[in-house]
Chains A and B, each alone.
Chain A
């Protein structure tokens, strides 16, 4: 029931956001300098920002950009983690030890710090689309170690399972065996994929708030949090809180879905 509600609510939010962006006459980047920092009106349902851009359209676009980017990054990170975890799980113990050491080196630093360093090491003055790609690519490339450790542990337990031993004794080759392994790892991979999505949305928001996220004028959760240090904006309208509220709602719904899948895995 809970999972059904979360799925429907999230689906409606995404569909609504897509409709708003699609039907918007001016787009998320259009500026109306005559109407900056206005409260809700018939033209701008939730007001405008400091540059006169429609807040409803920008929040809707940020939702879509954040979710699409985080989902793509989660898919890449799960694929990297699956490859790394399987390689460590089924290779020689010495190679496995080196691979585990590499993942430990990534896990030795707090993730946000590592992410911040990596993102700052990439070009910061790029086009908005390029900054979005770089940000989510950073998340994908650095997000795999914890996930890989889980898959490595899963692989180790499967490696000692009876059916696997029998398969090897019967002469099946490693690629053939891996073909049989993947269905067993699917629940674990799906859970890791779903758990990564809210983590990446949060990470993008935190990075953006530190000025290392997606570049303007492309809307993002982090960019919208960064805008909120403008106290003049808040004195005029409470609609400025909308991005925070919607971000919490979206993350709450995704985590509801992810935690249920995690429990099944």
Chain B
């Protein structure tokens, strides 16, 4: 029983957290100025009676409790609510956008990690010039995502994948090279190297198993970093993904879409956290 509770309690905690995130998003948007404005009110083709009906409908929708109940019901129905800006069920908007963003995120993380490993390995074993290896990443670290994306567009070089790659690599390089340097300089490894152990044996048997946990935590952080960068990258490069959907939903007070996107992003963060901590909690965020 105790073991079952130990397994279920973090899962329940994560589910409650996702509910709080969804409800919090709805409450935030509900009290935003201009939430009840309807573009049809400005349209002259609608008669005064129709416009007053729109007003009344707005007043009826005012209660936060009703909004939460209505949204909960549409979640149970499986259509996730009706988008205010696109006038279609939210569930129809998601699949293609999730695929686009997932692919972009996956590529950015993959290339970012490849670049980080390729640069961090030599930097961590180099006796001199470690700071020089890190200089490009330090400069990239000081560049906001939006500035990086804008510079890419202006110069006509690179795209969203390059921006995410550079962003992930710049965030992870310092930590990974520090982790690897710590492992490389460990007394037992210095002894092993003095005994003539080969580099591949050192990496495979001694270094990688020791740093695996830290690298997994770093992996979680890079997922969260890339996820946050997805919004400006998709908006600036005009990629029709979840980030762009989130941005248009924020600008148009599209509450059903925002609630779904918030829960989706929180779920991805929770999942990423569970990979590094072996339990589904959001500690790693």
Interface residues of A (CB under 8 A from B): 101, 104-105, 107-113, 116-118, 120-123, 198, 202, 205-206, 208-212, 221-222, 225, 228-229, 234, 241, 244, 247-249, 251-252, 255
Q: Is A113's CB under 8 angstroms from B228's CB?
A: yes
**Could you tell me the distance between the alpha carbons of A122 and B13 in the complex, rounded to whole angstroms?**
30
Knowing A101-B17, A117-B258, A241-B154 touch, does A109 contact B232 (C-beta < 8 A)? no
The interface stretch among B68-76, B112-120, B142-150, B188-196 is B142-150
Q: Is A244's CB under 8 angstroms from B21's CB?
A: no
**Could you tell me the distance between the alpha carbons of A61 and B265 in the complex, rounded to whole angstroms?**
36
Chain B residue at minimum C-beta to C-beta distance from A240:
B154
**Neighbour of A228 across the interface among B20, B31, B154, CB < 8 A:** B154
**Could you tell me the distance between the alpha carbons of A121 and B33 in the complex, rounded to whole angstroms?**
7
| 22 A-B pairs whose Cβ atoms sit less than 8 Å apart in the complex | A101-B13, A104-B282, A108-B18, A108-B269, A108-B285, A109-B269, A110-B231, A112-B231, A113-B246, A116-B250, A117-B25, A120-B251, A121-B28, A198-B142, A202-B144, A206-B145, A209-B144, A209-B146, A209-B147, A210-B146, A234-B154, A252-B138
**Could you tell me the distance between the alpha carbons of A56 and B239 in the complex, rounded to whole angstroms?**
33
Chain A residue at minimum C-beta to C-beta distance from B147:
A244
In the assembled complex, the CB of B228 is this many whole angstroms from the nearest CB of chain A, namely 4
Chain A residues near B29 (CB-CB < 8 A): 117, 121
**Could you tell me the distance between the alpha carbons of A116 and B28 in the complex, rounded to whole angstroms?**
12
Q: Is B151's CB under 8 angstroms from A105's CB?
A: no
Knowing A209-B150, A229-B150 touch, does A105 contact B143 (C-beta < 8 A)? no
Q: Is A225's CB under 8 angstroms from B150's CB?
A: yes
Chain B residues near A120 (CB-CB < 8 A): 32, 250-251, 253
Q: Is A116's CB under 8 angstroms from B270's CB?
A: no
Identify which of A110, A118, A205 gathers the most chain B CB atoms within 10 Å of its CB. A110
B93 interfacial contact with A, CB 8 Å? no
Knowing A117-B28, A118-B28, A234-B154 touch, does A209 contact B20 (C-beta < 8 A)? no
Chain B residues near A241 (CB-CB < 8 A): 151, 154
Chain B residues near A198 (CB-CB < 8 A): 142
**Neighbour of A210 across the interface among B143, B231, B262, CB < 8 A:** B231
Interface residues of B (CB under 8 A from A): 13, 17-18, 20-21, 24-25, 28-29, 31-33, 138-139, 141-147, 149-151, 153-154, 224, 227-232, 235-236, 246-247, 250-251, 253, 258, 261-262, 265-266, 269-270, 281-283, 285
Chain B residues near A101 (CB-CB < 8 A): 13, 17
**Could you tell me the distance between the alpha carbons of A221 and B147 in the complex, rounded to whole angstroms?**
9
In the assembled complex, the CB of B126 is this many whole angstroms from the nearest CB of chain A, namely 19
Knowing A209-B146, A209-B232, A255-B142 touch, does A123 contact B250 (C-beta < 8 A)? no
| Given contact pairs A121-B32, A209-B236, A251-B143, a sample of 4 additional A-B residue pairs in the complex whose CB atoms are under 8 Å apart | A107-B285, A117-B25, A121-B28, A241-B151
**Neighbour of B138 across the interface among A109, A208, A209, A255, CB < 8 A:** A255
Q: Is B31's CB under 8 angstroms from A244's CB?
A: no
Q: Is B247's CB under 8 angstroms from A210's CB?
A: yes
In the assembled complex, the CB of B229 is this many whole angstroms from the nearest CB of chain A, namely 8
In the assembled complex, the CB of B162 is this many whole angstroms from the nearest CB of chain A, namely 16
Chain A residues near B265 (CB-CB < 8 A): 109-110, 113
**Could you tell me the distance between the alpha carbons of A253 and B153 in the complex, rounded to whole angstroms?**
26
Chain B residues near A209 (CB-CB < 8 A): 144, 146-147, 149-150, 232, 236
**Could you tell me the distance between the alpha carbons of A249 and B144 in the complex, rounded to whole angstroms?**
12
Chain B residues near A212 (CB-CB < 8 A): 250
Chain B residues near A108 (CB-CB < 8 A): 17-18, 21, 266, 269-270, 282, 285
Chain A residue at minimum C-beta to C-beta distance from B14:
A108
Chain B residues near A252 (CB-CB < 8 A): 138-139, 142
Chain A residues near B142 (CB-CB < 8 A): 198, 248-249, 251-252, 255
Q: Is B147's CB under 8 angstroms from A247's CB?
A: yes
Chain A residues near B230 (CB-CB < 8 A): 110
Chain B residue at minimum C-beta to C-beta distance from A115:
B228
Q: Is B144's CB under 8 angstroms from A111's CB?
A: no
In the assembled complex, the CB of B227 is this many whole angstroms from the nearest CB of chain A, namely 5
**Neighbour of A206 across the interface among B20, B144, B250, CB < 8 A:** B144
Knowing A108-B269, A108-B282, A117-B29 touch, does A244 contact B231 (C-beta < 8 A)? no
**Could you tell me the distance between the alpha carbons of A113 and B281 in the complex, rounded to whole angstroms?**
20
Chain B residues near A104 (CB-CB < 8 A): 17, 281-283, 285
Chain B residues near A249 (CB-CB < 8 A): 142
Chain B residue at minimum C-beta to C-beta distance from A233:
B154
**Could you tell me the distance between the alpha carbons of A228 and B224 in the complex, rounded to whole angstroms?**
27
Chain A residues near B18 (CB-CB < 8 A): 108
**Could you tell me the distance between the alpha carbons of A9 and B74 in the complex, rounded to whole angstroms?**
57
